[in-house]
Structure 1
Amino acid sequence: MFPGLPTASLTLTHLFSAPFHFSVPGYQRPYSWTTAEAGQLLEDVLGAAGLGQTGAEEPDYFLGTILLLDGTGGDLPKPKSREREPRFFEIIDGQQRLVTLAMLAGVLRDLGTERWLWGSRNRLDYLIAADAAAVKQLGRKYRIEVSAREQSFLETYAQTRGGSLTAPTIEVLSEAEERLLKVRDHFVRELSSLDEADRRRLTDYLCDQCHFVVVLTRDIDRAHRLFTVLNERGRALQRNDILKAELLKSIPEDRAAAALDKWDSAAGLLGANFETFFSHVFAIYGRGDTKIIAGVRRTIREVGGAEAFLNQVVEPLSKAYHTVLSAADVNLSIDPEARRYLVYLGRLPEGDWAPAAILAVHQYADDPKRATMLLKEIDRLVHLLRMLCLGAGKRARRLANAVQLIKAHAALRPGDGPFALTREEVRNISYHLRSMYRRDAQVCKQLLLRLNDELTRSATILDPKDYSVEHVLPQRPGATSEWRRWFADGEEREICTESLGNLVAVTQKQNDRARNQEFYRKREIYRGMDDDPPVLAITRDVVECNVWRAGDIRAREAKLLALMREIWGIDIAAMQGHGTRSDVA
């Protein structure tokens, strides 16, 4: 693929050790990954390490190809090279992955509790820190350096020991810094849900079994051409094409046309979601396969062959999945209550909840009352698990238990079995709600939109991407603002700022306009201009206030917590004040 260019397959340990040191050239764009890309990377590595739903470790995990530029004319250092003189490479392609992995290493290191002199923490720190020779010769402190301003932020809040657990004190962050912070905090949340042994296991897998193909070029023009090739988005052969061929090869010729019609009908019904559909099928069958083709082969064998797979799995479940995806379509014939819960669920990432919803819709098509009860319980559980700030793997395991009980026609009742929350879990939700935006901005937005629906007693058809969370009392009010007079006590101001009662859902444009404005100005912005959508119910009560003091925030918080008790049957208000930072983990 790269004739005449030095190429090597290197593990993360080899790449992040002597003599390699990396920099991002000034012409590169700033850090641009969001929690979607970084979260997917982490989820994939966790799954490969056997820490996902299947628990089966893969022998290795390929992190992709990266392109480095070395203008000195040297060769690419080999694995376990004895070369110790530092070498400095520019990252032409792979910046987002390498910086993200450096942050991931920093978070894993800082969450560790073992002593520094040995073990995983020390190993991770060696990956992050520059070699002594690089520090002495050029003052380089870390193995990866980005642009000047981003580097200062990355050093302080990710690369420095303990930095990834430190809250920024900077009042105004650049877009790149915002992204770095959100990705870092996402890693902290996800990895905090693992125990120490699993984090050490992840560390070892990440260091020893995750590898890159590294390509070295010595010419900037050729580097640019290669970058274009590496980022070309041609249409590759889809796995669905391979699956179809796999399925049809075992069906007798006289029945192949009918089988193909069923396959194409399901593919046409689901469109771009057809491949995702198979991941949900595996979850329903208790497999959770990360390898789709191998998973299909196994499921075909288990259900009795290709035709049985088409008739008993693909055809009925694809129709159920289409119902799940299309619930907001008023032309779809479906029970109104079931539609409401599917619309709520449809605003969330579907990876964990979709299998349970698909099975409930399919299995109880002739019993809409029970299907609706199950969808209500799934909606409740999924929202509460997110407020518990559980990692993706733990959420998937909890929902996999629900899937298997639904599949077994278990006599589940509301709040039974996997749908039940312990008192400790409710207590932890109560604790997280004190600063839900800071813990997970996306979950916070999803909660506000869900509460908005309950205030209107309907399922509002809206796209969460169109809205953002706004702090009425700003996070960083100006030194001479009215906010400082209304909230003179700094500790009370911080508590009120992060309170659920202080948060509203507005468009991103309104959020950008509101920022640190005084309250009277914020109210006008929330009301909206001619081209803004109508004010959401979750925001309207704030618009109707004349002032915004601590008492107003507490009263609104109490109202929203009472609404959560009404929706989900958990008494958060009773828990408020019972937990402290020391007794709630």
Structure 2
Amino acid sequence: MPTALTAHQQTISRIFSDDYVFQIPNYQRPYAWTIEQARDLFDDLIGFMNASPGEVENMPPYFLGSIVLIKKEDLPDADVVDGQQRLTTLTILLSALRTQAPEKDASDITHLIYERGSQIRGTQDRFRLSLRERDRSFFHSYVQREDGFKKLLELSDNLSDSQENIQNNARMFDERLRSLPEDERPRLAQFIVTRCYLVAVATPDLDSAYRIFSVLNSRGLDLSATDILKAEIIGGIAEAQREGYTTKWENTEEDLGRNSFGDLFSHIRMAYRKAKPQGTLLREFREHVTKNSAPDRFIDEILIPMADVYEELTDSAYASPERAESVNESLKWLNRLEFKDWVPPALAFAVRKRNSPEKMESFFKDLERLSYWMLVTRAGINERIDRYSRLTRAIEQEENLQATDSLLQLTKNEQWDIYAVLDGPIYDRLSARARSAVLLRLDALMSGGGAQYDYDTITVEHVLPQNPDAKSEWTSWFPDAAERVSLVHRLGNLALLTRKKNSSASNYEFGRKKSAYFTQGGISPFVLTTQVLKHDIWDPDVIQQRQSELMKKLEAHWRLEERKDPQEAFLE
């Protein structure tokens, strides 16, 4: 009876021997190591070898990490759960060494890459490593066969991303090896084969292999939760359908990009969990998402629809014959927030109502309003997660989101709270990112929409300086120091710049500040700043009048007319 787990430290000569026949399952992601990662491996090997002068057999061992396999103890066949990138890259490096080795050494290296068949024994060539089906024949032909490597270097046909990575790394290894002294190449080959080690961790089944995979992942190896979930989910699909669902999964991941794809899983977890996470993404995804959904249905009915919606939300690219511009305007401002907790309820709503433009428009206007209330009132993460989670539940239960008591709407007291912050010393109350978001939203409202803010740097600056010189015109316009302090951080005294702030320039007299600091070439791309340029003086009356005008804009847009002071409500 096979043991549940074996772990053996093996030399590369033992790894690439008859003891193992490595297979990359189709549910694994494609070969992804770039030149940078392959070069790092090569440089590490050369650096370690050169730091150990003398005979190779006397060098200390070099550890290349662990690989996780599904393998029965008495059979060589091994599905690679983790280790594809290293095994593939090592094979490419061995192939590169073979092309520059003497015939005898080249034959020895070939034996590490594949076992030659025998006509007398009736056996066929057996490759030590077989990639996923999409890349298998390419790898056999151009990397593992003796006559393939030089052809690989010259290929110019359209290649897939994984095949390009193979070719790029082969070219890099070829160039680096040619730059070595001739006697150093066989020394490097001997060092890799006899002094480099991998720990081969093997279990006989997928479940135990992925438990190990999860532990290794938690200890810092370059693995992701989505890789583990992919193997679990696709591994649970009937073999005849597995390749098709692997393609669906990988196409979805490629469309979003690896980082965004990982973010999507976190948002799906929250949409189903509807509470602050208490465990790892893996554990909670299993408990709250995949546990109640067949693997194929998860991909068809949850992952792909939510990925399509997620891309529209994060790119502000909702497509519809009508209302799309309005929806995308709201999405644009949601995406400027410093938190992403709004995404799960947005996903939950859009995946259900994306074909109803009027409902999409109404929902996202209200979600922008709710989310900026959280931003401006500095709601903590627990408060945000609780509110958005309860909103997600209300969406699932088809509650009336337009009702005054809906979790999507602001109460009269909440309207008061956001209004009070906006009408107060907002510069001092909000973080730099939050106040930029509010000022940019206000600028867009003042411009009537359509303004673009694609600048590398956008900062919020005071018109009246925070610390004006005692002899400047500022102090003559603001003789009352207390009044000056009460106005300096308010909306009416703020403008936007497309440059980093300059502490000395910020204290310029008003005329010089307008021409030398607030504009570039005499103009500003911001309506809020252009307003400032129209004034000849900047005194308390100007700030207060501007404050009133700007507050009316925000009040109308975020519908704050029904605000009610909670203290007054308490007294009633």
- Normalised by the length of structure 2, the TM-score is 0.56
Q: Is 1:537 aligned to residue 527 of structure 2?
A: yes
Q: Is 1:303 aligned to residue 318 of structure 2?
A: no
Which residue of structure 1 aligns with residue 441 of structure 2?
450
CA distance in 1, matches of 2:484, 2:471: 15
1:504 touches 1:538 (CA, 8 Å); kept in 2?
Answer: yes
Q: Is 1:497 aligned to residue 488 of structure 2?
A: yes
Deviation at 1:325, TM superposition (A): 1.4
Deviation at 1:305, TM superposition (A): 2.1
Q: Is 1:474 aligned to residue 461 of structure 2?
A: no
Q: Is 1:548 aligned to residue 538 of structure 2?
A: yes
Which residue of structure 1 aligns with residue 452 of structure 2?
461
CA distance in 2, matches of 1:324, 1:421: 23
Judging changes above 3 Å, is the alpha-carbon distance between structure 1 residues 497 and 325 closer, same or farther for their aligned structure 2 residues?
same
Select the residue among 255, 263, 284 that pairs with 2:271: 284
Deviation at 1:535, TM superposition (A): 2.2
The letter for the 2-side match of 1:242 is I
The letter for the 2-side match of 1:376 is K
Deviation at 1:420, TM superposition (A): 2.9
CA radius of gyration, larger in: 2
**Which stretch has the larger CA shift, 293-302 or 535-544?**
293-302
Deviation at 1:242, TM superposition (A): 1.8
Which residue of structure 1 aligns with residue 118 of structure 2?
none
Which residue of structure 1 aligns with residue 232 of structure 2?
246
Aligned pairs for 1:188-199 within 5 A: none
CA distance in 2, matches of 1:301, 1:573: 43
Deviation at 1:555, TM superposition (A): 0.5
**Which stretch has the larger CA shift, 417-426 or 478-487?**
417-426
Select the residue among 530, 549, 553 that pairs with 1:563: 553
The letter for the 2-side match of 1:558 is S
CA distance in 1, matches of 2:479, 2:406: 48
CA distance in 2, matches of 1:314, 1:504: 43
Judging changes above 3 Å, is the alpha-carbon distance between structure 1 residues 519 and 429 closer, same or farther for their aligned structure 2 residues?
same
Cα deviation digits, residues 332-380 of structure 1 (max 9, x gap): 9981111111111111134211112222322112211101110111011
CA distance in 2, matches of 1:555, 1:572: 22
1:469 touches 1:505 (CA, 8 Å); kept in 2?
Answer: yes
1:565 touches 1:571 (CA, 8 Å); kept in 2?
Answer: yes
The letter for the 1-side match of 2:252 is A
Aligned CA RMSD, in angstroms, stands at 2.9
Which residue of structure 2 aligns with residue 236 of structure 1?
222
Cα deviation digits, residues 84-126 of structure 1 (max 9, x gap): xxxxxxxxxxxxxxxxxxxxxxxxxxxxxxxxxxxxxxxxxxx
SS in 1 for 2:496: strand
The letter for the 2-side match of 1:426 is Q
Judging changes above 3 Å, is the alpha-carbon distance between structure 1 residues 510 and 438 closer, same or farther for their aligned structure 2 residues?
closer
Which residue of structure 1 aligns with residue 374 of structure 2?
385
CA distance in 1, matches of 2:479, 2:500: 29
CA distance in 2, matches of 1:447, 1:506: 14
Task: Report the identity percentage.
Answer: 27
CA distance in 1, matches of 2:402, 2:532: 38
Long gaps (5+) in structure 1: 1-233
CA distance in 1, matches of 2:567, 2:473: 32
- Normalised by the length of structure 1, the TM-score is 0.55
SS in 2 for 1:571: coil
CA distance in 2, matches of 1:548, 1:486: 7
CA distance in 2, matches of 1:494, 1:417: 39
Judging changes above 3 Å, is the alpha-carbon distance between structure 1 residues 505 and 331 closer, same or farther for their aligned structure 2 residues?
farther
The letter for the 2-side match of 1:563 is K
The letter for the 1-side match of 2:310 is Y
CA distance in 1, matches of 2:300, 2:344: 18
CA distance in 2, matches of 1:304, 1:238: 22
Deviation at 1:381, TM superposition (A): 0.5
Aligned pairs for 1:19-98 within 5 A: none
Select the residue among 311, 323, 345 that pairs with 2:312: 323
Cα deviation digits, residues 300-341 of structure 1 (max 9, x gap): 444322212111211100100000111269999981111111
Deviation at 1:407, TM superposition (A): 2.2
Judging changes above 3 Å, is the alpha-carbon distance between structure 1 residues 246 and 410 closer, same or farther for their aligned structure 2 residues?
same
Judging changes above 3 Å, is the alpha-carbon distance between structure 1 residues 515 and 326 closer, same or farther for their aligned structure 2 residues?
same
Q: Is 1:517 aligned to residue 503 of structure 2?
A: no
SS in 2 for 1:515: helix
Deviation at 1:552, TM superposition (A): 0.5
CA distance in 1, matches of 2:236, 2:244: 14
Deviation at 1:527, TM superposition (A): 4.9
Deviation at 1:460, TM superposition (A): 3.0
CA distance in 2, matches of 1:539, 1:552: 14
1:377 touches 1:415 (CA, 8 Å); kept in 2?
Answer: no
Cα deviation digits, residues 485-543 of structure 1 (max 9, x gap): 2111111010110111111111233655742111111211355224x984211221111
Judging changes above 3 Å, is the alpha-carbon distance between structure 1 residues 412 and 424 closer, same or farther for their aligned structure 2 residues?
closer
**Which stretch has the larger CA shift, 390-399 or 282-291?**
282-291
2:459 touches 2:500 (CA, 8 Å); kept in 1?
Answer: no
CA distance in 1, matches of 2:351, 2:460: 36
Select the residue among 475, 481, 484 that pairs with 2:475: 484
Give the total of aligned pairs.
345
CA distance in 1, matches of 2:546, 2:382: 34
Cα deviation digits, residues 111-148 of structure 1 (max 9, x gap): xxxxxxxxxxxxxxxxxxxxxxxxxxxxxxxxxxxxxx
Deviation at 1:468, TM superposition (A): 0.9
